[in-house]
């Protein structure tokens, strides 16, 4: 099974590019083209219960849909490195308020735990406590490091494997898929951030600038090789495009669907039945 989509769906600059004008941010419209979404808003702030109920109501009208959800940054970028007890408590609250209702509606995808460049192996014990002690209600556990691949650290890999997590496979100016690849463990997770090196490593631009990039068809074909390897290994596969500015993510995700054989004249049927 391939779950394909974008990292978020409510971007105003998708209006008139992906969404018809005046419809920006419609999950129901988004779900006509993709069978999954990676929710990033949870990284920045709590999401109200009525908003989650609205997501569930929209998704229940789709043939098949999954939400992957990003863990809050207060946990991953702060507490897990300095106060693991509080990190566990906050993750338990987050799991109950956000993951549980999605899981009970049979809409659970993956939980993305993204750790910052400041994370070091010396914090590994805290990470172990966090991922091993919190019930994530049937969500698949995924770990992303921004200072390299978890596969480069045997200590971190042992922790995530014991907890049933897998490392995220990343394409960005800092991480190339041909440098590491992890598949064949039941599920695989891919995040395509774009290749805007000038903005990625810049310290004087806004956070969205690093994601301003549109993959060429040749680049997408190259990326598809890795996804196909995961499929061939029998994995459940999650693929998300995070190059969201200017509507590049949905454009590239739809192109990618065609490349891997999901988009035909009967696109939606092929996608949801893949």
- Where residue 32 sits, what CATH number does that domain have? 3.20.20.410
Task: Tell me how many domains the chain contains.
Answer: 1
Confidence at 268, pLDDT banded by 50, 70, 90: very low
What percent of the chain stands above pLDDT 90? 73
User: For residues 271 and 262, what is the distance between their CA atoms, to the nearest angstrom?
Assistant: 5
Rounded Cα distance between 172 and 178, Å, is 11
Q: Which of 25, 97, 110, 26 is nearest to 67 (CA)?
A: 110
Instruction: Write the pLDDT tens digit of every residue in 47-96.
Output: 999 999 999 999 999 989 999 999 999 999 999 999 999 999 999 999 99
Q: Is the pLDDT of residue 266 over 90?
A: no
247 near 14, Cβ under 8 Å?
Answer: yes
How far apart (Å, rounded) are the C-alpha atoms in residues 9 and 148?
27
Structural tokens at position 35: 């069978």
Average pLDDT score, the chain: 90
Strands 66-70 and 108-115: parallel
The least confident of 3-7, 140-144, 208-212, 264-268 is 264-268
Three-state DSSP string of 67-87: EEEECCHHHHHHHHHHCHHHH
Buried b (16+ CB within 10 A) or exposed e, 11-27: beebeeebbeeeebebb
Using only C-alpha atoms, what is the Rg of the chain? 18
Beta carbons of 19 and 25 less than 8 angstroms apart: yes
Domain range for 62: 2-273
Q: How far is CA 168 from the centre of its chain?
A: 8
Q: Is the pLDDT of residue 175 over 80?
A: yes
Helix then strand then coil, in percent of the chain rounded to 5, is: 45, 20, 35
Instruction: Sort strands 36-39 and 169-171 into parallel, antiparallel or unpaired.
Output: unpaired
């Amino acid at each position: 099974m391939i779950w394909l989509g974008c990292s978020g769906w409510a971007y105003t600059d998708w209006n008139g590019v992906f969404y018809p004008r005046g419809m920006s941010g419609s999950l129901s419209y988004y779900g006509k083209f993709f069978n999954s979404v990676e929710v990033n808003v949870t990284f920045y702030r709590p999401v109200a219960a009525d908003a989650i109920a609205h997501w569930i109501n929209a998704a229940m009208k789709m043939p098949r849909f999954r939400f992957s959800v990003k863990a809050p940054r207060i946990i991953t970028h702060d507490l897990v490195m300095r106060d693991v007890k509080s990190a566990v408590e906050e993750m338990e609250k987050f799991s109950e308020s956000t993951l549980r209702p999605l899981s009970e509606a049979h809409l659970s995808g993956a939980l993305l735990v993204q750790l910052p460049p400041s994370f070091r192996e010396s914090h590994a014990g805290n990470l172990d406590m966090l991922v091993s002690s919190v019930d994530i209600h049937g969500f698949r556990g995924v770990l992303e490091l921004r200072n390299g691949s978890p596969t480069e650290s045997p200590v971190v890999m042992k922790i995530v494997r014991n907890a049933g997590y897998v490392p995220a496979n990343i394409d960005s100016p800092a991480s190339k898929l041909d440098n590491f690849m992890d598949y064949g463990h039941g599920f695989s997770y891919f995040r395509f951030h774009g290749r805007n090196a000038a903005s990625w490593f810049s310290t004087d631009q806004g956070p969205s600038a690093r994601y301003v990039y549109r993959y060429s068809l040749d680049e997408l074909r190259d990326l598809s090789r890795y996804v196909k390897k995961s499929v061939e290994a029998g994995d459940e596969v999650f693929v998300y495009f995070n190059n969201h500015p200017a509507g590049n993510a949905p454009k590239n995700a739809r192109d990618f669907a065609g490349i891997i054989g999901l988009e035909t004249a009967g696109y939606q049927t092929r996608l949801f039945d893949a």
